Each structure stands twice: as C-alpha cells, then as structure tokens.
Chains A and B, each alone.
Chain A
Amino acid sequence: MKNFFIKLTFTLLLAGSYAAYAQLPENILKASGSPANPKVPMAWNRYYDYTAITDVCKKLAAAYPNLVKVESMGKSFTGKEMWVMTITDFKTGDASRKPAMYIDGNIHSNEIQGSEFALYTAWYLAESFADTKFIRELLADKTFYIAPTINPDARDNFIHNPNTASSPRSGLIPIDNDRDGATNEDGFDDLDGDGNIVSMRRKNPNGRYRADPKDPRRMIVVGPDEKGEYELLGSEGIDNDGDGFVNEDGEGAYDPNRDWAWNWQPNYIQNGAYKYPFSLPENRGIADFVMKHPNIAAGQSYHNNGGMILRGPGAEEDLNTYNAQDVQVYDALGKMGEDLIPGYRYLVVYKDLYSVFGGELDWFYGGRGIYTFSNELWTSFSLFNKPGADNSPDASYFFDRYLLFKDAFVDWKPYKHPQYGDIEIGGFKKNYGRMHPGFLLESDAHRNMAFTLYHAFHTPKLSVDEISEKNLGGGLREITAVIANSRLMPTHSSQDLKYRIEVPDIVSLSGAKVVAGMVVTNRDMGITAEQKVDPANLSVANIPGNGTVTVRWIVQGSGAVTVSVDSKKGGQAVRKG
C-alpha cells in the first residue's frame, strides 16, 4: 500500500516532465532490469561532451536529492570543473563513513565511453533505487563516488575537433614533444576539412600495399613475391615546422595515466610522464579527493579498448607489491567479471598488456591500498560474439558495411598534398574501432556496471556478531565480542598492512569500566594479546574478508555494555550486549 502511494506521488510529480513525450508511463512495460520511467530520460546510444555530462550530473542531483550529490574535485587545466557524484542513500547512515567505491572514466581523452559507462552507473543507481531491493540495500551500505570524465579538456577536444580514434589521449597542457623549443607546432591537419583525421595513401608501383578484393576500402600488405599499388603515409597532416617530420608535435602528448604517485618515473624511463606525481591538475584534484575520503575501499577506472579487466602491478618492478592474499581477492572479483562481461578477460597489466609506471590503478592500490581495476571497454568479440581471433581479418569492414551501413568510414578521395603530391585520404572515423557502435553501448555499459556493483558489494561489511559474558568473581566480568566481516575484501589490503597506510580498526567497549583489553588470537586455547594502553579501544590491524576477529575485555562492576567497531575502509557497526 505504502509503495503504491510512493509510486503514485512519483507519477504525479513527473507528469509534467513527461507531457512532452508520447510514451506516458502507463504506455510502457518495464523491460527487466532497466529503469522504465526515469526521471532523467537518457539515450545510451550516443556520446556526451563536457557540457552534456555536466547537465546530466546536475539533473540527477536535482531529481534525487536524497541519493545524488554533485561537487567538483578541482579544475582542469583549462578551468573546467572535475565533477564527482556522491551516490548513496543519504537517509541511511553517514555517506563518508560507508565503505565506498570510486569510479572514473576518460583519463585518456580519446577513450571516451568510460564517461558514458560511469554516467550510466550513476543514472542506473538513482533510477533503480525505488524499484530494486538490491540497489536499495547496496546504497544503504555503500557509497559510490562517480567522476564521469577526469580529462574534460581533451574530451571536448576529441569530440569537437578533427581527431583520430587515438588522439589526443593526452590532456591539453602544451608540450614540446620534439624538443626544438616550440610547443604543439606540428599536429594533425584536417587537409580536406571534413572534420575527420584519417589516413593518407599514395599510388606507388613499388608500394607494399594493395586494396583488399573483398572490401577495396581496406589496405592489405602484399606478399613478399607480389607487387603492390599503394604506400601508406600515416595520419592526415603536413610537416608544419619544416623539420622533415609529419605530425610529431601535436596537442599535449603527455599521458595522464603516467602521472600517479606509485613508483612514478620520469619521461625518459616512462614515456608520457609529466613533471612529477600529480603534476597534472586533474589528477591532483582526484588525489586530494581520495585522500579526503579514506572510506574508498574499491576503485574502477574505465579505459578503452580490448575487453580487459586489468589489475596491477603495472610494472614488473612492482611485482612484490601484490602478495598472495590480495591476489586472491583480485582473482575472485576478476573471474566474476569474466563471467558477467562476455569477451572480457581478467589480466595483469605488466605481463599481459605492457609495463607502465605511474598508472592510476597502481597508486590506488600501491599508494592507498584500494582494490582497483581498470576495464578496457569494447572488444572485437562484440562484433559477432566470437573471439577476435575467430573473426575474419576484414571483420571490422564487414561490420561497418552490413551493420552500420558504412557510417563509420570516410571513403578514399584524392588530395594534392604540399609535400607528398597526389595522395588519397580516407579511413575509419575516430568513433569507430575503439568506441562502441551506438546499438552496443548500453548493453556493455550495463554489464560493466554490474561488475562494478559486484566489486562494491564486496567491500567490507562489518557487524558485531556476538557479545558474551563470563563472571570472573570479585566484581570482574569478562566480555568477549566477535567482529565479523561478511564480504570478500578485508578492511586492510596486505599492501595497506605492509605500509600501515590506513590506521587500524578500533573495537570499543562502553558501558562499563574496562580494566584490561585484549585481542583473542585463539579463543579455544585462551591465547590473547593484551593492549596495555587505552584497553577500552582495542586496535585491530585488520578484519579479514569473510572472517572474524575476537576481542575480550575484563570489566569492573555491572551494567550493560555496548561494543562498536570503527574502520576507515570497513565502516562502522555497533551492538548492545
């Protein structure tokens, strides 16, 4: 009955905003697992620029004031706000004390769908809260910090300027990549002015390429005993600075994902590094935010592409950072990810991808002890639902031709190049190859979100499971309490324990005079370790995942006792004896 009224009120409240749509709520059958009548209507088959993302964040916060708050983590290089949404059930508990999951996207500006995936997650949590019990319980227990784009400057550059699928990747601070004293003086040039940066080819009887007979748009390498028709000349551009190199010093060209403060290395060791850890203002803002939110226990940073669920270490030199207990937690989560997202593989950055210093996930884990993944969104598996290796070599051309109706390709056309002479310009647009085609975007966003919700669900959940009493005589009582953690993650990762990154958990007794306190290491054998100073507040290094910690106090006098536990990453719990 109560539910009915809530729904009715919602419907009445929303009637106004729906007036413009033909599809009124009463005309709709809910598809399972998707919000049917969202307060913030969204299309999940297209990409949003900074202005649109800002608008969606603000609309969600306005529509769900008890679930979504939006704030800025700082300003980008060009002065854009770094939006982060705090999503939780603000009516239940203190948001800053619930175990939290941090999600961001788009650190590489061309890897843009991370923003839509992050935004989808925020939208889904808010729009499903009323309907879905699991989401209600999750938001009662947990907090999500969701930053849709952490590279807003270059996101807009990618969207609004001519680019390839791989540019800018960087942020927009000018860099002298060729070390000649000038910055950004030789970037791509949209020679034909069509808004795309594609490829250049030139007819050449000694070239090593020819058109693929199956799809002549595609260039293929000729065999060693064959003659070719074309040579390839790289991405659209000219030698603007007359140094004999084409496009060698374009926009930015540092890597924001080499700027993080765990085993950071300078650019001569780690290509892409800027000046020092967090020398990029965007990352600095995030680091400040993370330092101010010690409740963050889990992290996800969305990239593209390749269908990978990545964990650290980023560099082989950091192999010892990850020990067996933590790898167990990662494995359990990562393997679930493989099940939830077909075509995605759970991999380790340094050995399965490439070696990298100063990556974001390395700082989250190495520097803050946060269990973190980076999902590389989009995989060629999704073209025809079979592993990339089983696709034919021209699968992406075939897909474009028959499923996208050639919308993804700029046909080759002649151009007179000031340095190369008669050439042709053509190739795939920037929104194809690394980004999801529209009709596959929402499905993959949902699956990846489901993985992050599973990840968040398994941040610690603490409870005081048992309080038992024994009369020791002489006015003394022995109180034993069992603190349980019913999820996968411990309150402190082993990296956290190794460096004492976060303070220990505190288990406290109140309501009686404590004369002694101890952590019970073996309850059956009565083996304990006494804490002589401040015994009412016992310091516990860690509460393991799906495990317990037993503590004991000797108290004087009568009175009901209360036991509470307070953990930065694990949250709080309390129980009366």
Chain B
Amino acid sequence: MTLKFNLFTLGIGICMGSSALAQDYSTYSQFNQRVTSLAAANSSMVNIQSLTKTTGGKDIWMITIGTGNTGQKPGIAIVGGVEGSHLLGAELALGFAEKLVKGAATDSIRALLAKTTFYVFPNMSPDAGEQYFAKLRYARNGNARSTDDDRDGKVNEDGFEDLDGDGRITWMRVEDPTGKYRVNPEDPRSLVLANPAKGETGKYLLFSEGIDNDKDGQFNEDGEGGIQFNKNMSFNYPNFQPGAGEFAVSENENRALLDRLFELSNVFAVVTFGPNNNLSAPVVFSPAGISKRIITGYFEPDTKINALVSDVYNKQTGSRDAPKTSPGGGDFSQWAYFHYGRFSFSTPGWWVPKSKPDTTAKEKPLLIEDAVPNYLRWAKSQGITGTYKEWTKINHPDFPGKVVEVGGIDPFALINPPYKLVDGLVTKHTGFLVALAKMAPQLDIVNIETEKAGDNLTRITLTVMNKGAIASQTKVGERSYWVKKIAVKVITTNSQNVVSGRKNQVLDAIEGYGNQTLSWLVQGSGNLSIEAGSPTTGSKKIEITLK
C-alpha cells in the first residue's frame, strides 16, 4: 500500500514499480497488465496489438517500440515464451521492452529508437506458461488445444497426478529389479542411468509423478497440454511427435506470428529467448550443411556475423559456461534463419552456474555428468530453498506392494532462476539488444561523381555502402523473395534519358561495411534524383545536377 502511494505521488507508472519489486514471475493477467500499462504510459514510442488469441483464449501480444515511421527502418524481432515452462524467456522479452522504454529518457536510446524499430513478441506460450501458477503445477509447453499425444484415439486421458499433495509435479521412483536408474554416488538426492558397460546395475524405474490412467504402460503421456509453439514450425518439423501437432504451423499463435513477420520486411534479425543457444557460442560453418537442396547449416558469411554478434553478447552479458544446446525440430529460432531468411540469435538467458565445491563442507568436484547435484550445490550457496523435495514413500495403485517414492528436483528450477535474479538478467540482455541494434545494416550513398561525357551527356558514378556491421541481408535470404533486395532507382524528368546503366535495378546483399559502385550515362540537363534502399537497410536519396 505504501509502495503504491509513493509511486503515485512521484508520478511513476505503477506497472514498472510493481514489476521491479515483484517477488515472482508474472501470471498471465499480471503480464497483460504490464503490457497494456507500458503502452498506455508511453504512447509516443510504444504501440501494442493482440495478434490473435490462443486456443485457450489468451492474447498474443506484439509490442512495437520506435519513433516515426517504424516500418521503414531496420527492425529487430524479439520473441519470448517460445516454451511455456521457460518463464524467464517471456520475462526477458517484456523486461527488455520495459527497460528500453525507460531508457528512452537518455539521448542515446532516443537516437537509437529514431533509427531502429523493435518488435517484441513477449510470450508465445501463454496457455502453457500459466500452468506454473495453476493448482497443479507442472512444466508445460503445449497450448490449450486438446490433443491425442499418444495417438490412441483418446484425448488428454493420462495426465499428471499430484501424488504427494504438494501442489507440484516432480518425479516418482520405483524400486524394481529391471530399473535402469541408480542413485548418483556423488549426490544421493539425484538419480542417474546405470552404465552396464561399467558393471553398474540399476535399482529404480523413474517416471514423472502420476498414475497410468489409461493402463497402457506409459505414465502421464497424454495429459492437458496440446501443441507446442516451439515444435510446430516448418523447419525440420518433427512429424507426428507428441506436441508437434498434425502438421507444421497449425496453431493460431504460430500462424499469427509468422503472418506478421512476413509482413515486416524490415526485420533484419530475430532474437529468441528460448532453449537454443547460438550466442554463447556461434554456429560453426560446415560445408556438409549447405551441400544438399534442403540446407541444414548456415552459409559461411552468416556464421561470421553470428560469431561477431556472439562476441558482443558475451561481452555485454558477461555470461560463461553455457551448456551446449542442440535445437529440436520444428523450433522457432532455426525457422527464423532457415525459413524466414533473417539473422537469428537465441539464448536461454540464464543457466545454472558451475558450482564450486564447498571445501569447508568437504565437498569434492563433481565428475559425473548430472545437472542436479551442480544445481543443488549452487542453490545451497545462494540460499535457495524449496526447489528440491526429499524422496517420500507413497502408496501407488499401479505398483501394489512396491516401494514408490515421490520427490526430486522441481523441473522449473533448472531453467528459471529465482525471480530476484531476473532484473539483472534483463539489464544485461537489454545491453546486448541495444548493442545489436547499433550493428544494424544502414545504407548510404557515398563518393558521388558526375562528369561530362559529351554534349548534354553526363556520367554519374556513385557507391552504395552499408555503414552497419551486419550485412544488408543474410546469405540464405538472398534466395528468398520474402527478403527484399536493395532497389536503386534513377528518377528522371521527361527530358532526361538513361542511355547506359539501369534506370531501375535491384542489388544483392552488401556485407557489413561493404559497398557496390554503380554508374550511368544520362542524356539531358537539369536535376535528377537517385534513391537506393531496402526495408532492412533504410533508404537514401540524393540529388544530382547533370553537367
């Protein structure tokens, strides 16, 4: 109460104050409140639109941040919430929008917003994300569409059950001679696969918490949770996999985002806050990846820009020890490169730092590959509690007479940091996005020369230059008609005649700081103008006086 009163008297937007001081991730309604407040308080540079509603009836927001004619400047699309269980992704996207707008009080950000447009799609999985706040809390990525995940003709017939009544779904281990898991000798709270090649034997079956409702031998394989945004894209689409849908781009949110992105010809880069990471370490060029018709790897010039941007990312965020990721099929960030033809950067935004052994507690370095003990050590050092539940015996109807225990790590904990860390992460990632915007392709016309080639005949020579660090288009985008080329037009009057060189032409991509020289012979006198531009580079128009 005091807080609200203070902010009110100070005239500061309530939304910012409350988000900065929030104790946990935002619910759907809190999130909506933040989006609408941001626009309401900053109408000169923020425009919001609900692109569609999900099957669950939730809004998919697009926040446009920029000044002037936003569609005519290089744009960056920032996409969060590509996976619903990754609450941080949505927070980073919306948090960036909030911080950027707040920063517009400074000259440098105001200048940036005059040159660049940011399109923020903060949460692509609002149906799934809301499960974190639900009575039955579980890590969910699928939207509200009813699906038959196990393709048995029944829909949502085998979901999770909260067997230990703690309100969240964790893990369930069953003592069984055929079990493939054993207790991690370095940390008995975690289970690891036994390696028979090393003479290890398993003791436990491991499942997510629940009952085999449809008695098909599988646990919780077809519960609430339909189609996953990040599995429903057209690149490397995983046909008929659970969560992928019946065909690619079948869902409202996927279609609405893509329809909008295809309209936004000015977007040169897409930044995804999601599981894939090509910012901590860039994609490496592999000739095999581009050797076939269906390419699966980056073109070499695009890997170079990825490397350049990756350096900027690591510098801005200071992050290290990122775990290696390999993107799954049908994901969004790969789509943005391979099918949208734009520079695509993706980061989870946070991962569990490498923990150091607590020598006072006589801990030894962890040698077994297992994320859980590392997390638990780190959590202890940070004073984080409540993310691990001791294994507790329960009676399970599917395992009469067997020892069944429920417990283990909270699945959200490994990918979502405690909320108190979010603000710092937003600041770092805002720094990165601002730095990326400063690398945007920018077209200029330089070295303009006119010379008399004959009576009433002028030779015009000029250089079209990209003043930005990033190429005007990706290499992959050169081949896609959705990526516009640089159009160069000689705008003449009736008495003027272009006798050599093209009156209207399009140029292929110009690399970062690269250029291309053009010349024309024009018959006639007086003035003419030459305009060069493309949506991703902006345009430049010059006046020429014929000699």
Size of A's binding interface in residues, CB under 8 A: 36
Size of B's binding interface in residues, CB under 8 A: 43
Interface residues of A in 265-318 (CB under 8 A from B): 265-269, 275-279, 287, 291, 317
B485 beta carbon closer than 8 Å to chain A: yes
A501 to chain B: which residues have CB within 8 Å?
A: 151, 240
| CB 8 Å contact bits of A237-273 with B (1 = contact, 0 = none) | 0000111100000000000000001101111110000
Interface residues of B in 481-536 (CB under 8 A from A): 481-485, 487, 502-506, 534-535
> Whole-angstrom distance from the CB of A507 to the nearest CB of chain B?
14
Q: Can you list 26 A-B pairs, Cβ within 8 angstroms, ordered by A?
A: A176-B484, A177-B481, A179-B481, A180-B485, A181-B535, A243-B505, A244-B504, A261-B248, A261-B249, A264-B237, A265-B294, A266-B341, A267-B480, A268-B341, A269-B294, A275-B259, A276-B258, A278-B249, A317-B293, A363-B247, A500-B240, A501-B151, A503-B148, A503-B152, A532-B215, A533-B215
A326 to chain B: which residues have CB within 8 Å?
A: none
When the two chains form their complex, are residues A278 and B506 in contact, meaning their CB atoms are under 8 A apart?
Answer: no
Closest to B477 in A: A268
Interface residues of B in 284-323 (CB under 8 A from A): 293-295
B479 beta carbon closer than 8 Å to chain A: yes
Closest to A366 in B: B239
B502 to chain A: which residues have CB within 8 Å?
A: 243-244
| Given A278-B249, A499-B240, A504-B153, also A241-B504 (CB < 8 A) | yes
A175 beta carbon closer than 8 Å to chain B: yes
When the two chains form their complex, are residues B249 and A279 in contact, meaning their CB atoms are under 8 A apart?
Answer: yes
| CB 8 Å contact bits of A167-180 with B (1 = contact, 0 = none) | 00000000111111
A207 beta carbon closer than 8 Å to chain B: no
Q: How far is the CA of A269 from the CA of B292 in the complex (A)?
A: 10
| Given A268-B476, A499-B239, A501-B240, also A276-B506 (CB < 8 A) | no
> Whole-angstrom distance from the CB of A171 to the nearest CB of chain B?
16
When the two chains form their complex, are residues A277 and B338 in contact, meaning their CB atoms are under 8 A apart?
Answer: no
When the two chains form their complex, are residues A275 and B258 in contact, meaning their CB atoms are under 8 A apart?
Answer: yes
Q: How far is the CA of A317 from the CA of B239 in the complex (A)?
A: 15
| Given A179-B506, A266-B338, A501-B240, also A277-B481 (CB < 8 A) | no
B487 to chain A: which residues have CB within 8 Å?
A: 180-181
When the two chains form their complex, are residues B259 and A268 in contact, meaning their CB atoms are under 8 A apart?
Answer: no
- Of the residues B215, B234, B258, B484, contact of A179 by C-beta under 8 Å: B484
B255 beta carbon closer than 8 Å to chain A: yes
> Whole-angstrom distance from the CB of B515 to the nearest CB of chain A?
20
B107 beta carbon closer than 8 Å to chain A: no
When the two chains form their complex, are residues A266 and B247 in contact, meaning their CB atoms are under 8 A apart?
Answer: no
Q: How far is the CA of A179 from the CA of B505 in the complex (A)?
A: 10
B246 beta carbon closer than 8 Å to chain A: yes
| Given A179-B506, A243-B503, A268-B341, also A276-B255 (CB < 8 A) | yes
A343 beta carbon closer than 8 Å to chain B: no
A178 to chain B: which residues have CB within 8 Å?
A: 506
When the two chains form their complex, are residues B481 and A176 in contact, meaning their CB atoms are under 8 A apart?
Answer: yes
When the two chains form their complex, are residues B504 and A267 in contact, meaning their CB atoms are under 8 A apart?
Answer: no
Q: How far is the CA of A176 from the CA of B338 in the complex (A)?
A: 20
B339 beta carbon closer than 8 Å to chain A: yes
When the two chains form their complex, are residues A317 and B247 in contact, meaning their CB atoms are under 8 A apart?
Answer: no
B262 beta carbon closer than 8 Å to chain A: yes
B455 to chain A: which residues have CB within 8 Å?
A: none
When the two chains form their complex, are residues A503 and B485 in contact, meaning their CB atoms are under 8 A apart?
Answer: no
List residues of B whose CB falls within 8 A of some A CB: 148, 151-153, 214-216, 234, 237, 239-240, 246-250, 255, 258-259, 262, 265, 293-295, 338-339, 341, 476, 479-485, 487, 502-506, 534-535
When the two chains form their complex, are residues A277 and B506 in contact, meaning their CB atoms are under 8 A apart?
Answer: no
Closest to B148 in A: A503
When the two chains form their complex, are residues B503 and A242 in contact, meaning their CB atoms are under 8 A apart?
Answer: yes
When the two chains form their complex, are residues A503 and B481 in contact, meaning their CB atoms are under 8 A apart?
Answer: no
Which of B214, B239, B338, B341 has its CB near the most chain A CB atoms (within 10 A)? B239
Closest to B535 in A: A181
Chain B interface mostly: loop
A269 to chain B: which residues have CB within 8 Å?
A: 293-295
When the two chains form their complex, are residues B480 and A264 in contact, meaning their CB atoms are under 8 A apart?
Answer: no
B215 to chain A: which residues have CB within 8 Å?
A: 532-533
Closest to B153 in A: A503
Q: How far is the CA of A216 from the CA of B535 in the complex (A)?
A: 51
A437 to chain B: which residues have CB within 8 Å?
A: none
B339 to chain A: which residues have CB within 8 Å?
A: 266, 276
| Given A180-B504, A181-B487, A268-B341, also A291-B480 (CB < 8 A) | no
A181 to chain B: which residues have CB within 8 Å?
A: 265, 484, 487, 534-535
> Whole-angstrom distance from the CB of A154 to the nearest CB of chain B?
19
Q: How far is the CA of A177 from the CA of B485 in the complex (A)?
A: 11
Closest to B533 in A: A181
Q: How far is the CA of A268 from the CA of B339 in the complex (A)?
A: 9
- Of the residues A244, A261, A503, A504, contact of B247 by C-beta under 8 Å: A261
A367 beta carbon closer than 8 Å to chain B: yes
| Given A276-B255, A533-B215, A533-B216, also A264-B504 (CB < 8 A) | no
| Given A261-B248, A503-B151, also A277-B234 (CB < 8 A) | yes
> Whole-angstrom distance from the CB of B477 to the nearest CB of chain A?
8
| Given A176-B481, A180-B504, also A317-B294 (CB < 8 A) | yes
| Given A180-B485, A275-B258, A287-B247, also A268-B479 (CB < 8 A) | yes
Closest to A315 in B: B293
- Of the residues B234, B246, B265, B503, contact of A266 by C-beta under 8 Å: B234
Which of A179, A261, A276, A287 has its CB near the most chain B CB atoms (within 10 A)? A276
When the two chains form their complex, are residues B504 and A276 in contact, meaning their CB atoms are under 8 A apart?
Answer: no
Q: How far is the CA of A504 from the CA of B234 in the complex (A)?
A: 28
Interface residues of A in 493-515 (CB under 8 A from B): 499-501, 503-504
> Whole-angstrom distance from the CB of B503 to the nearest CB of chain A?
5
When the two chains form their complex, are residues B480 and A268 in contact, meaning their CB atoms are under 8 A apart?
Answer: yes
Closest to A500 in B: B151
> Whole-angstrom distance from the CB of A19 to the nearest CB of chain B?
52
B484 to chain A: which residues have CB within 8 Å?
A: 176, 179-181
> Whole-angstrom distance from the CB of B475 to the nearest CB of chain A?
11
B505 to chain A: which residues have CB within 8 Å?
A: 243-244
Q: How far is the CA of A179 from the CA of B509 in the complex (A)?
A: 12
When the two chains form their complex, are residues B481 and A242 in contact, meaning their CB atoms are under 8 A apart?
Answer: no
> Whole-angstrom distance from the CB of A531 to the nearest CB of chain B?
11
| Given A180-B487, A276-B249, A503-B151, also A267-B240 (CB < 8 A) | no
